[in-house]
Structure 1
Amino acid sequence: MHYIVVLFFILFCSHAAFAKQIEVVVGWTKPPYVISEEDSGFELELVRAILLEMGHDMSPIYVPFGRTASMLKKGGMDMGLTLNPGHEIDPAMLTDAYVYYQNVAVSRTDRNFEINEIQDLVGHSVIAFQTAISVLGEEFKNTLAHQKNYMELAQQDRQVSLLLLGSVDVAVLDRNIFQYVKHQLPVEKQHNTTIHELFPVSSYSAAIPDDQLRRQFNKVLAQFIKDGRYQSLLDEFGLFNFIEALPSEPAQNPN
């Protein structure tokens, strides 16, 4: 009996020695991907579950979305979420893609806008998510960067509200975020909208400076995708599984 107690104590101490509190830099609320006020959302729950499988606990640090990469570059943080090479982060730090977004342009249907390509946004007031100019590609940047009626906003619920109120012509944001935020509003404010598919599906990674931690994360992520736990989380938050719709090696496309 004494031997069993000693063995249990050794195993407990061994686990405690390797377990870490992982500080994860997370962009402010992007429901249903990140719901900071509830410490939840698809991305948070997925990463939390992966780290728990690895024997670690997650400590989220919420920051404005554009600051994630800069905080990682300063050092001291274990991980940053929702990043790709367009965010001026060392590509060597990026994990395999763990989440996919599809940015779209959205307009009110009653405006009858013909928007079939990025150039069609010229002359319209456009509001986009923060860092959109940096990550949506050169054509988007060259077309809108110097347009006076183009702006970026971190609060995507405010972005959707401005569109539906008619204060801006077009909103550029992820399709799932738009639908989620729109359906949180009173029914009388949910004006009919038109989705303009101007951008392809985009893959995002986590950035992890520690090589061993990054390799372990990739291994467990692959297990989650293979055994169905990834799909279960997608279903919980009402998200489409882009992995099944993409080529076997999806490109790291901006946003």
Structure 2
Amino acid sequence: MVRKGYLSRVAVALLLGLLLGGGSCAAYGQPSKVMLGSGSSMPPYVIPDKGRGIALDVFRAAMTASGVQVDTMYADNAEVVQAFNDQRVDAVFVTNPKLTPDAHFSRLPLAVFHNLAISLHDENIDVQQIGELSNYRLGAFKLASKLMPSPFPETVSQTADYREYSLQLEQVEDLYRGDRQVLVMDKTIFRYFLSQMKRKNPRSPSYRRAVHFNDLFAKRRYHAAFRSEEMRDKFDQGFDAIRNNGRYERILRTYENLLANYLVR
């Protein structure tokens, strides 16, 4: 028989753990959780209405391998970074040490974006250097001026008509509408939104116009950023695990097959 006094001491210890420790629940079998702040406009890396995407699936798989549940908050890049710095989310991945100086970054990148200078072929725009972008009505993704390396920030500061978009679909729409002459945008994200627009408007002659790509930028590797070293280490361990057991490659292969059927040529 368990003594009544012993039960009282256990109950007091549990209560003190909840009030003072905040993390004692994990010691009694409840799983850890992490709140990921994610940009809301970068398919196929993040597809909010599906709750999926290449980066999201990899992040969740890595965290699950370390016994951590993931909740996601979607917003534009600037709002997500602000939420991280305000300690409203635990992790982000489209950031850098300057924007989130207190972050602990993963050892390996979670996503790799290939930004290009994109224009319509019949506009005869052929940009050979980043500095030449200042001559055009330029559109880029949110926080591009802070995420892209020099000389892009200096260039856009001298650009008379420069806009950053929270919704990258609007970027593509503005290119075909004529409001923007050049976009700075990841090639796959651009192709995803253009495919979406063509499927919704299959008879539109506008979306049949050929596109010209200028490869001016190095690929950008975005590492998962965490507010705690402990959670960062759990991600790294989980990421290693899914790379070793084949889960990572299966996620990438799944999306390669899906995109092969979805993206227009």
Q: Tell whether the structures are fold-level matches, with TM greater than 0.5.
A: yes
What secondary structure is seen at the aligned counterpart in 2 of 1:143? helix
Which of 209, 232, 247 is residue 227 of structure 2 equivalent to?
209
Q: CA deviation at 1:134?
A: 0.8
CA contact (8 A) 2:136 2:161 kept: yes
- Hey, what's the Cα distance between the residues in 2 that align with 1:21 and 1:170? 41
Please state how far the C-alpha of 1:206 moved relative to its aligned partner: 1.4
What does the per-residue CA deviation read over 1:189-216, in whole Å, with 9 as the maximum and x for residues that have no partner? 2421011101001110111122122112
AA paired with 1:84?
N
Is 1:139–2:151 an aligned residue pair? yes
Comparing 181-190 with 199-208, greater Cα deviation is found at: 181-190
TM score, norm. by length of structure 1: 0.82
Q: Do the aligned residues in 2 keep the contact of 1:51 with 1:57 (CA within 8 Å)? A: yes
Rg bigger for which structure?
Answer: 2
SS at match of 1:138: coil
Number of the residue aligned with 1:115: 127
Among 79, 83, 86, the alignment partner of 1:71 is: 83
Runs of 4+ more than 6 Å apart: none
Residues 1:221 and 2:239 aligned together: yes
Q: Distance in 1 between matches of 2:120 and 2:44?
A: 22
Q: Could you tell me the percent identity over the aligned residues?
A: 24
1:5-154 aligned at under 5 Å gives the runs 17-86=29-98, 88-90=99-101, 93-96=104-107, 97-154=109-166
Q: Which position in structure 2 is the counterpart of 1:10?
A: none
Tell me which residue corresponds to 1:8: none
| Residue identity in the other structure for 2:221 | S
1:140-179 matched pairs, under 5 angstroms? 140-179=152-191
* Cα distance in 2, alignment partners of residues 227 and 21 from structure 1: 23
Structure 2 residues without counterparts, runs of 5 or longer: 1-24, 258-265
Which among 239, 253, 257 is matched to residue 235 of structure 1? 253
SS of aligned partner of 2:100: coil
**2:116–2:213 contact (8 Å) kept in structure 1:** yes
**Shift of residue 56, structure 1, vs aligned partner:** 2.0
* Aligned residues: CA RMSD: 2.0
TM-score, normalised via structure 2 length: 0.79
Q: Where does structure 1 lack aligned partners over 5 or more consecutive residues?
A: 1-12, 240-255
Between the two proteins, the alignment pairs up a number of residues equal to: 226
